[in-house]
Structure 1
Amino acid sequence: MRNDIGLTHVALAAKNIDSSIDFYRRYANMHIMHERIDKEIDKRVVWLSDKTRPFVLVLVQSQNPTPILGPFAHLGVGCKDKAEVDQLCMQAKQEGILAKDATDSGYPVGYWAFIHDPDGHVLEVSYGQEIGLTVQNTEI
C-alpha cells in the first residue's frame, strides 16, 4: 500500500450530496472517484476530482451543513480561458447562485468570480492565476 503525502483533500458537509455532485460536475468538471456509506457515522461520503492532480473534494452527508467556505474562503478552480469564466458566471446568474461577478484583478490574481454551491460554500472560477506553474517553478 502506498501512502499519500501532502495536501490530498478538502472535506465539506453537504445536505443533498446529489445536488452538490451535480454542481461540482457542472462548475468544476469534477466526477465521483469514490463513494460509500461510512458505517461509523452512517452517512454517505463521496470523493470528487477533476483528475488534473491527485486531489479530491470530499462531501459528507449532513442534515444542517454550516457553509464554512465563504464569504471569502473558497475552493479555486482554473478555467481554460476568460470565456469559460464568463459562461459559468452567466449560468450561475441564471440559477441565482452567482456570489461575485467576474473581475479582472491582473497578474497574479487573474480573472475570477465567486459562485455558491448548494450549501452556501464558495467556489472561485478563474483564468490566469498560474498557481500550478508558480508551484512547479519554485524551489524550496
Structure 2
Amino acid sequence: MTPRLTHIALHLRDLEASIGFYRDICGMNIVHQREDEGTRVVWMAEPGRETEFIFVLIPGGPGRDQAENDFSHFGFALDSRDAVDRVAEVAERAGYLAWPPRQEPYPVGYYCGVRDPDGNFVEFSYGQPLGPSDPDTGSEGGAS
C-alpha cells in the first residue's frame, strides 16, 4: 500500500480563535469533534474534502510563532488573483496579513500569506502547479 496524507494535527494555544480563523479565512468547516480525556478535539476540512484531508485541532499547545524568514506554511489554492486579493483584504482587517499579494515567476504564481492565531503561516495562491487552472499561463494553479 502506498501511504496517503490524510491529516495534519495542530496543537494550539487557543482552540476557539483557531476554529474561527480556519472557518472564516480558510473556508474550512468542523466535520467532527469529540472530548478526549476532557479536552475538546476538532476536525476541520474544506467542503467536499471531508474524507480526504483534515486539520485536527488540539488545544493546550505552546504556539508556533514562526520567524519572518521561516517560510514553512500551509498552502491553499484559490481560483483567481482577485480571490487572493480578497483573502488578503479580510486577513489585513483581522490583523493576520503577513505577506501582501505578490506575483512571482512560475511555479510560484500570485500569492499572499497570513498568520493563524497560533503563529503558523498560511499561503493563499493562484497560478501554481496545484489547484485551479491559470488561463494566463496555461498552468494549473494552487499552493506551494
The TM-score, its normalising length taken from structure 2, stands at 0.79
Structure 1 CA distance, aligned partners of 2:94 and 2:118? 14
Residues 13, 66 of structure 1: 8 Å contact kept: no
Query: What SS is found at the alignment partner of 1:28?
Result: coil
- Give the letter aligned to residue 23 of structure 1: F
Equivalent in the alignment of 2:117: 118
Correspondence 1:29 to 2:37: no
Query: What SS is found at the alignment partner of 1:118?
Result: coil
Which has the larger share of helix?
Answer: 1
Question: How many Å apart are 1:58 and its aligned residue?
Answer: 1.0
Correspondence 1:45 to 2:41: yes
Deviations 1:73-104 (Å, cap 9, x if unpaired)? Answer: 11000112111110111121122211111111
The TM-score, its normalising length taken from structure 1, stands at 0.81
Question: How many Å apart are 1:112 and its aligned residue?
Answer: 0.8
Structure 2 CA distance, aligned partners of 1:52 and 1:76? 17
Higher deviation after alignment, 114-123 or 65-74: 65-74
Distance 1:69 1:130, change over 3 A: farther
Structure 2 CA distance, aligned partners of 1:46 and 1:109? 31
List 4+ stretches of structure 1 deviating above 6 A.
none
Distance 1:69 1:84, change over 3 A: farther
Equivalent in the alignment of 1:138: none
Structure 2 CA distance, aligned partners of 1:67 and 1:43? 23
Equivalent in the alignment of 2:136: none
Structure 2 CA distance, aligned partners of 1:56 and 1:69? 25
Equivalent in the alignment of 2:103: 104
Residues 77, 131 of structure 2: 8 Å contact kept: no
Distance 1:25 1:126, change over 3 A: same
The 5 Å alignment of 1:1-140 reads: 5-39=3-37, 42-53=38-49, 54-62=52-60, 64-67=62-65, 71-132=70-131
Identity value in percent: 37
- Give the letter aligned to residue 87 of structure 2: L
Deviations 1:14-65 (Å, cap 9, x if unpaired)? Answer: 22212111111122110011111212xx422111100344100111001533
Question: How many Å apart are 1:10 and its aligned residue?
Answer: 0.9
Structure 2 CA distance, aligned partners of 1:52 and 1:124? 20
Q: Structure 1: 5+ residue runs without aligned partners?
A: 134-140
